[in-house]
Structure 1
Amino acid sequence: MTPTRPDSPLPPVAPEVLASAVESLTTRLRGRLDAAVEALAAAQVTTGDGTFGVRCGDDVTVTLAPGPSGAVTDAAQARCTCLLAPRCLHRTAVLGACPVADAEPAPPAGSTPSASTGSTAEAAPRSAHRPPDAGGPAVQADQVRAAAGLWAAGATVLSAGRAGAGPVVQAELLRAAHTARLAGLHRAETAALGVVRHLRDARDPDRPHSLADLVAALRELLLVTRRVKDGDPDPALVGSVRRNHHPDGPLRLYGVCREPVIGPDGLGGVVTHLVADDGRWYTLRDVEPGGPARARRAGTAHVAIRSFLSDHFQMSRGGLILSGAAVSPDGRLLPEKGVRATFAAGRPWTAADAPPVAAGQVTGSATDRLPAALTGGPGEAGHARPLTGCDVEILAADGEELVVRVVPGRGGDASPAGRPTPGPPVRLAPAHRHPGLAHTANLRRLGARPGLRIRVLGRVDPDRATTLRPLAVGAVPGTEATLRLPDAWQGRADLGYDHLGSDHLPPDLPPPSAPFGAPAPATAADSPLWRVRRLVELAVAGGRRAAAEPARDDDRHGHVLALRRGGFVTGAALAATLGTVAARRTRDAFGRLDDGDQDRYAAQWLATAVYLAGAEAALRDASWRG
């Protein structure tokens, strides 16, 4: 056995294995589970022969022996040397410290699971738990029961809050998620596993976490399960198994840009974005441990797809023809057996026959690339999310950010005098601020040239009004007041890797076509909706007791009144009701808490959270339209 660092990653564990382990504990041991999991942060982990050993004391060792998939999917794969095993605190605490394995499809009724219970969803038969057809009957009875159980578990998490949702509460949610998987509720199970992962990240001081992400995951879980348990027949609520797929015929792809990646757990690398003739997007990922240093080097690292060898710079400017392509559900190209790749010519962004990366999406407004509505289902499987593009004119620099104005495309709105109507002001913020990457330096150089017109491609910041985080810039055709880039760059520069110099800028620039007034709004918190968001997030962070505090002090800060004055009458009513419901605990004739009390509180929080997400999305859309 080889000793590893105390923070060495443990293998993932199937949700049902952890849930069963927690369920087998006595009430007294469950009360000690939180402290036992935290104590494992300094435990010694050893590896060897495909197993993981965790020392839980001087004479107690828990051994994990993952299956072929790399995950612990059977209770027999976790053993403890203590006398109480397998119903012991040591074994359950180690399982609770492991990451949660990805969802895998349940076998169809009447079939026998294979010996390999890997987590790859593509191994399951396509007929397993097929979502109901749009014209068929409503959701099945077992799905309604599973959704009701998952709703109750999610409501328990909401009432406990992030601080109180420890391993026992998480195990209840995982047990309900397993039941949902058996019933074929793939979307609900995925949402539940996401909630558990966010709760664990929040308890780990070494992992980045976001309260907003936990709020979004809990909102998705409660929204989907509520609609299913109420009998909503929408097939999107059931979801589908995420599978790798093989497109029919060869794929002809064109490189678009490179994106540096600096992720949690010291990950670093690059993602190269590509687009097909039909406008669908794909990615080539090269992300491994190494942090910012690896992200900086990966921009010119080699790309290997079976026998094909190139590098990320060439791929982002050139093209690729794939036969027998294998694509993951999120649009990643996979180097599986049978894949053959051939290098092909790329296309500059300014080419007349270029794919939609430039010709259509980059002109005019970026509103059609805003995040999808919260009530919709997951994105189209097998394709990456498109980037957002537009032509802009630089107005001024504002610290490390740029204030620009969207340049209308041909055929866009025009003033009575026949001149194009200037678009709304937009902010360009660095996609990464790490000094080892070139984003900030490139934006600073561009900001020193007011009047310059550039073509921008990046991502809309969902939390900041009219803010785009650009990944690449290019020249705007039909004007001299634009970039002059080398032919080898194919008309664009990757802001994280390519360094813009004075020779890439025109010597003389006319003043901006429209005067620069007040800066574009920086955050969505400029509206009174921040008061609703504060209450929604407070409920998730501190639980029901924290959500009740504004009602107990008679709306001390006047949030409801401020919302009404701002025109958010519905938001004011929802916020006031949420505080009232949180503070009022109903009891039955025997003095016990009413069973429906937690249900009413979860429903009220969900209504408030859905309203908040919809109102903020509407404000963002309106701000992009100007």
Structure 2
Amino acid sequence: MSEDLESEKRVSTALPPVAPSVTAELVAALSPRLRKRLDAGVAKLADRPAVRDGDTVRIAVDDSTHVELHAPGGSVTSADAVRCGCLLAPDCLHRAAAASAAPIAEPAAEPATATRSEDAVAGEAPQPDPERPERATPEQCAAARALHTAAAAVLEAGTDGSGAVLQAELLRAAHTARLAGLPRAAATSVSVVTAVRAARSADPAYRLTDLVGTLRDALSAAHRIPHAEGPELTELRGTVRQPYRPDGSLRLYGLFSEPVLTASGYAGAVTWTADTEGRLYQVSDVAPGGAGRAVGAADRAVRVGDTALTHRELSRAGLAVSGATVSPTGRLGAGAGVRAVRASGADWRAEPLDRLWTVPAAEQVARALSGGADLLFLEVALVGTVREAAGDCLLADCARLTLRLTAAHDHPALPHRDNLRLLAAARGSRLRIVARLTPAPHPRAVLLACEHPTLPGTRVDTGLDRLLRADLPTAPASPAPRADVPTPEEAPVHLLSRRVRQAASGGRLALSFPGSTAADVRRLGRHGLATAGDLLDELHAAAAERSRDVFGRLLPADPDRFARAWLAAARYADQVDRALCAAAWGA
């Protein structure tokens, strides 16, 4: 990584999060001449030192000029909170550059308490009228069109071409969507900008598949909202915040903890627990910060009641909670009425946690693909490693299926990758693991926690605990039986999904060069994927099409056609991947 990128990341993590509307407002106020210089201004500002003084962060532009970001609540929520001392202020480049370099502020935190009061049911949709299904308002339709235009422009340019100006346009569209009552579309748009920034700064948290997924969801929502009605519109619209509902008393047993480190500048830890019935609950501590906070959050006190347990301790112990409040996703609230005390934990091979591993893998995968919890509780035998384009992954035998286990994060401060490499040397070891499903044409998951290879009853959180070579067995166990590893020939949908990823990264130009797709189309057709071949042809045709005016001059490309073709291909590839994933697991 270059020194410029490293300095940009250092400054970004030092700056407070800035609300999307603030960045959009500051960039929109720039003159056309200054807009052309905005990306250079962001890069220049990245080389300057940033100093925090209470709620204010000050960046030294030069010896006599400073930019100040005032964040009394932890984030910058108004354009007036970004001040500059140069002669051109407030219409200077420095304010917009500082906002564009800072992390994007998330919406207001979810409420920590929950009763059947007005706050508890905030965001709940009214009962639908079957005679007159609800449709999007004119304001929501206009916001969806603006979102589609901004997202299509980002797709047209790709990550390299999506500078601060295009990012600000998408943030403006996100703000408009939120004001129109489309919080889910707004949040997805912000996620697109976050992924683009991570790609441009070579952030280790960046995943091209994440960019493809968020861009697909943003364009899909913008496309469907004007035509949706009833329950579909309710789902597309989403809620401003998840309501926390009372759940009485809970007896929870710690499962594992995982670090959180996002490209948007947030970090922390999430501890997963289970009750006596096997239902999963989460205790999270995520706030603005970098890798240091992700590593240190495991030793911070859990934010539930008056407990003094840390996340690391809770993952091995238990919790008795009274007056519990729980969100629909299983996140525990931490309001004033919640009481929690430390309790005994349970081994993974003892009740009540043992039942999580007795559910067949196919049934767990089917649950995850249908929208349930995506955690998998598996018993595996370690086989070795296999090299992939993104690095080595761990092979394990799981009920006669060859499972590929990958690292959850590549940041060097987190031990995911190192632990995976060491576990590969423990070939033949039979362990229970916790992993997160990755939809793919072959069994694939992200390793989150596992049993210790030599210490029975000991667990390893692969993102927090660092294994040593001394932890490995002195002699390898008997080799695990090998199952056949599916080859790309068995799932040629990658011929389409590869073009989808190329377009998201390189923009329309990446697919506009002359070339024939006939061979790929024939190969897809031989495997019963004729629709994929048609989508591949249309994607390339939309990328390459350029008409001319009466004087023979090239006219601008049609971004709407390319966005529609890309969206159709992306959705098809995603659905086929999920179907192939279910088939590979026997779900």
- Provide the TM-score with structure 1 as the length reference: 0.76
The alpha-carbon distance between structure 1 residues 254 and 89, as it changes in their structure 2 partners (threshold 3 A), is: same
Specify the SS of the correspondent of 2:244. Answer: coil
> Corresponding residue for 1:414?
none
2:445 counterpart of 1:457: no
**C-alpha offsets along residues 457-508 of structure 1, whole Å, 9 cap, x if unaligned?**
3222335721344444569xxxxxx99935xx5xx66567497999999x99
Deviation at 1:51, TM superposition (A): 1.4
CA distance in 2, matches of 1:471, 1:129: 32
> Corresponding residue for 1:107?
none
> Corresponding residue for 2:80?
76
After TM superposition, the structure 1 = structure 2 runs for residues 223-302 of structure 1, keeping only pairs within 5 Å, are: 223-233=220-230, 234=232, 235-243=234-242, 245-259=244-258, 271-285=270-284, 291=291, 295=295
Deviation at 1:584, TM superposition (A): 1.5
AA partner of residue 486 (structure 2): P
Alpha-carbon contact 1:5-1:44 (below 8 Å) kept: no
Specify the SS of the correspondent of 2:246. Answer: coil
2:444 counterpart of 1:485: no
> Corresponding residue for 1:579?
540
Specify the SS of the correspondent of 1:337. Answer: coil
AA partner of residue 357 (structure 1): L
After TM superposition, the structure 1 = structure 2 runs for residues 298-313 of structure 1, keeping only pairs within 5 Å, are: 303=302, 305-312=304-311
2:509 counterpart of 1:537: no
Alpha-carbon contact 1:347-1:354 (below 8 Å) kept: yes
CA distance in 2, matches of 1:304, 1:126: 20
The alpha-carbon distance between structure 1 residues 498 and 300, as it changes in their structure 2 partners (threshold 3 A), is: farther
The alpha-carbon distance between structure 1 residues 198 and 363, as it changes in their structure 2 partners (threshold 3 A), is: closer
Q: Which has the larger radius of gyration?
A: 1
> Corresponding residue for 1:97?
101
CA distance in 2, matches of 1:25, 1:204: 23
Which deviates more, 249-258 or 280-289? Answer: 280-289
AA partner of residue 148 (structure 1): R
> Corresponding residue for 1:553?
515
Within the candidate set 379, 387, 390, 2:378 is matched to: 390
After TM superposition, the structure 1 = structure 2 runs for residues 394-409 of structure 1, keeping only pairs within 5 Å, are: 394=381, 396-398=383-385, 403-407=395-399
Alpha-carbon contact 1:445-1:500 (below 8 Å) kept: no
After TM superposition, the structure 1 = structure 2 runs for residues 137-286 of structure 1, keeping only pairs within 5 Å, are: 137-205=134-202, 208-233=205-230, 234=232, 235-243=234-242, 245-259=244-258, 271-285=270-284
Alpha-carbon contact 2:497-2:569 (below 8 Å) kept: no
CA distance in 2, matches of 1:229, 1:6: 40
2:404 counterpart of 1:424: no
2:566 counterpart of 1:601: no
> Corresponding residue for 1:625?
586
CA distance in 2, matches of 1:511, 1:46: 56
2:66 counterpart of 1:61: yes
Q: Which runs of 5+ in 1 are unaligned?
A: 104-118, 374-378, 380-384, 408-422, 476-481
Percentage of identical aligned residues: 36
AA partner of residue 337 (structure 1): A
Deviation at 1:128, TM superposition (A): 6.8
**C-alpha offsets along residues 352-411 of structure 1, whole Å, 9 cap, x if unaligned?**
65575234x3566542244457xxxxx7xxxxx45212344x38444686655444xxxx
CA distance in 1, matches of 2:445, 2:261: 19
Alpha-carbon contact 2:512-2:544 (below 8 Å) kept: yes
> Corresponding residue for 1:28?
33
The alpha-carbon distance between structure 1 residues 293 and 577, as it changes in their structure 2 partners (threshold 3 A), is: closer
Alpha-carbon contact 2:306-2:341 (below 8 Å) kept: no
Alpha-carbon contact 1:432-1:439 (below 8 Å) kept: no
Which deviates more, 330-339 or 5-14? Answer: 330-339
The alpha-carbon distance between structure 1 residues 602 and 53, as it changes in their structure 2 partners (threshold 3 A), is: same
**C-alpha offsets along residues 520-559 of structure 1, whole Å, 9 cap, x if unaligned?**
237x68632222122112222222222222xx2334x833
The alpha-carbon distance between structure 1 residues 570 and 548, as it changes in their structure 2 partners (threshold 3 A), is: same
Alpha-carbon contact 1:262-1:291 (below 8 Å) kept: yes
The alpha-carbon distance between structure 1 residues 597 and 401, as it changes in their structure 2 partners (threshold 3 A), is: closer
CA distance in 1, matches of 2:298, 2:81: 41
AA partner of residue 621 (structure 1): A
Alpha-carbon contact 1:318-1:344 (below 8 Å) kept: yes
AA partner of residue 443 (structure 1): L
2:316 counterpart of 1:323: no
AA partner of residue 447 (structure 1): R
Which deviates more, 530-539 or 439-448? Answer: 439-448
Specify the SS of the correspondent of 2:584. Answer: helix
> Corresponding residue for 1:10?
15
Deviation at 1:256, TM superposition (A): 1.9
- Provide the TM-score with structure 2 as the length reference: 0.81
Specify the SS of the correspondent of 2:90. Answer: coil
The alpha-carbon distance between structure 1 residues 190 and 508, as it changes in their structure 2 partners (threshold 3 A), is: closer
> Corresponding residue for 2:5?
none
The alpha-carbon distance between structure 1 residues 27 and 340, as it changes in their structure 2 partners (threshold 3 A), is: same
Deviation at 1:196, TM superposition (A): 0.9
Q: CA RMSD in A?
A: 4.2
Alpha-carbon contact 2:150-2:173 (below 8 Å) kept: yes
Deviation at 1:456, TM superposition (A): 3.4
Deviation at 1:56, TM superposition (A): 2.6
AA partner of residue 14 (structure 1): A
Specify the SS of the correspondent of 2:105. Answer: coil
**C-alpha offsets along residues 185-241 of structure 1, whole Å, 9 cap, x if unaligned?**
111101110111111112224554222211111100000110002344411111111
AA partner of residue 220 (structure 2): L
Deviation at 1:617, TM superposition (A): 1.4
The alpha-carbon distance between structure 1 residues 362 and 285, as it changes in their structure 2 partners (threshold 3 A), is: farther
Alpha-carbon contact 1:401-1:443 (below 8 Å) kept: no
Q: What count of residue pairs does the alignment treat as equivalent?
A: 559
